[in-house]
Amino acid sequence: MNRKNIKRGLLPYVFLILIILVVFYIFNVVNVKVNTFTYDQFINELNKENITELEIVPRERAKIYEITGKIKGYDENETFYVKAPLSDEVIKRIISSEEELGFKVEAVADPESSSFLLILVNVLPMVILIGGAFWLFSRQMGNAGKSMDFGKSKAKLNDEKNKVTFKDVAGLKEEKEEVRELIDFLKNPKRFQKLGARIPKGVLLVGPPGTGKTLLAKAVAGEANVPFYYISGSDFVELFVGVGASRVRDMFKQAKHNAPCLIFIDEIDAVGRQRGTGLGGGHDEREQTLNQLLTEMDGFGANEGIIIIAATNRADVLDPALLRPGRFDRQVTVNLPDIKGREEILQVHARNKVLAPTVTLHNLAKRTPGFSGADLENLLNEAALLAVRRNKDMITMSEIDEATDRVLMGPAKVSKKYTEAEKKMVAYHEAGHVVLGLKLDDANDVQKVTIIPRSYAGGYAMMIPKEEKYTSTKKELLERITGLLGGRVSEELNFGEITTGAHNDFEKATKIARSMVTEYGMSDLGPVQLEQQEGGVFLGRDYNKSRNFSNEVAHEIDLEMRKIIDECYKKAKEILKENKDLVKLIAEALLEYETLTQEQIEYLVEHKEMPKEEVDYDSYSMTELRMIAKEKGIKGYTKMTKEEIIEELKKL
């Protein structure tokens, strides 16, 4: 915790303790009983030897002694008080011979003779009380000022120390070219103004989560070397109506003072949703905030030198007025990276990772289609954590394979035990997927198959397309459905029984079949789009599809879907019957090894046996190698280098 914050937190308690002490002192003073004596009474009590304590204070200005003390029989808080002439011989004798008396005598110097002590006694308590009251009052006023300050913008200025440039953004070549014009304009605006060109006032970055939209916006600001304000769309919306609009005005006011500059609004769909939509009406505060944002971007006022970059993964719900020319003039789609982009992203995130020589980022990029930049960063981080957990000096393919499975399906449930019958059923189910992937030209390749349970799956086959393509043919979709049905068909053929293990396969196959009929026009109903996604902002997902057909057509859609599924199921059954021995071979290998990679499957199909396991000794630490050498009976291993031990192990 910051020391300043600690001091601020202790101040109220210190002040409270001082007040308690002052009150306690005053309370004690008030409760002291003081008996005022005449000088004769005092001499009389002194002669009777009734006095037990005595305190004498000279007052030179008044030329008197102030005497306080106690008499036998007094309570603890009871004293007497008497004044005596400053020239009194009795008092002088008492002071000079205090050791001979039978009671305690204390002589105090005149407080008035010390100006500092006088100020300390009389002025300091008042200063403490007045200062404390002023401090409390100013603190309350400060809190009140903060409560009245909620209309100020929450946009933060970027930190120059953590500047991001295009070197830190990988896999977005076309997207970087699109926004490079903004940098050129901010650096040299006259070049554009000379030809009458107007730079876009706003750029909207659209794409799935984790694709690098925020990182790209930071890189634009870092390359342009201009002030960069960043804020989230949710920071505008508050409970009180008008606060969001006030924050928008204040944000643009700050930006104008620092123009040229960039404003980045992350998750703009939180404030930029369509107005006046939904079953329950609009949200007045959000709509007022959006209206103010529209006015500031392209209204009567000019915002020269201010460029707005916004990011969202829900461009379909944004208000049309926000997307018109003059506001967000340009939309840049940040898609999931292709194989080349994934390799570049992996190279960026592997800078501080210690990878084994056997790890090839190009091969890893081929095995991870559909991964976003955030997924790839998480994959390498999980692999690094696994390597540390296993006490390894570098990250090997073993950790990367396990990390890939963790990202896709979660950690393996090693403690979960199958019955022998259930394990055999799962093995044949997954073997059905593998065989169809091998025999169908356009089905997805099986990259890896395992019967180790993860998440809710008892086992799974990692299937990826043979090639990354933007479109799919009818044949490819039909063979993809056939591959998905292979697990259920294998169960039926080999056991005469079916299980619930294929429910996720059916979900995917049914979705593809319905899209073929209702969206892609790949059925006997013809090239007609019967369903399409609507842009209903606040409606549920079940209401988001527009159905432009009658009940009779709905029945025909069901028949066409059933026809596609039945034909694919029949084809899968024919292929698996013809390759029953191959299914058995792969299933038995799964029962023994539990996990098979693509290379092992290909070797098994060709040679009818599993390849001999080659141990990657380079990934082992020196301690592990010496333990293995000891088990293998290698003599003199303690004096060998790592390379010599590996050479001896390979000979065995």
The catalytic residues are: 430
What span, in angstroms and rounded, lies between the C-alpha atoms of 182 and 171? 19
Local structure of 122: helix, strand or coil: helix
314 residue type, one letter: R
Local structure of 265: helix, strand or coil: strand
Which one, of 411, 484, 437, lies nearest residue 582 by Cα? Answer: 437
The stretches of 298-338 forming alpha helices (DSSP H) are 320-323
Which residues, other chains included, contact 584 with Cβ-Cβ below 8 Å and sequence gap of 6+?
431, 494
* Residue pair 503/482 in contact by the 8 Å Cβ criterion: no
Read off the tokens for 286.
């959000």
User: Using only C-alpha atoms, what is the Rg of the chain?
Assistant: 43
Which one, of 462, 459, 472, 466, lies nearest residue 443 by Cα? Answer: 466
* Residue pair 315/272 in contact by the 8 Å Cβ criterion: no
CA distances from 438 to 163, 452, 571, 592 (A): 49, 22, 14, 21
551-578 vs 420-439: helix crossing angle, rounded to 10: 100
Q: List own/partner pairs for 25-34 with CB under 8 A and 24 or more apart.
A: 28/77, 31/77, 32/77, 32/78, 32/79, 33/75, 33/77, 33/78, 33/79, 34/68, 34/78, 34/79, 34/80, 34/81
Q: N- to C-terminal Cα distance for the chain? A: 59
Read off the tokens for 153.
């913008």
Read off the tokens for 428.
């044949």
Q: Which residue has the tokens 């296993």?
A: 390
User: E-strand spans in 428-556?
Assistant: 445-450, 460-464, 531-533, 545-547
265 residue type, one letter: I
What span, in angstroms and rounded, lies between the C-alpha atoms of 471 and 544? 24
Which one, of 95, 121, 90, lies nearest residue 107 by Cα? Answer: 95
Read off the tokens for 420.
């022998």
Name beta bridge partners: 36.
Answer: 81
Q: List own/partner pairs for 99-108 with CB under 8 A and 24 or more apart.
A: 102/49, 103/51, 103/52, 103/53, 103/54, 104/52, 104/53, 104/54, 105/54, 105/55, 105/56, 106/53, 106/54, 106/55, 106/56, 107/55, 107/56, 108/55, 108/56, 108/57
CA within 13 Å, CB half, 411: 7
Read off the tokens for 531.
């369903």
What span, in angstroms and rounded, lies between the C-alpha atoms of 192 and 207? 29
182 residue type, one letter: L
Local structure of 53: helix, strand or coil: strand
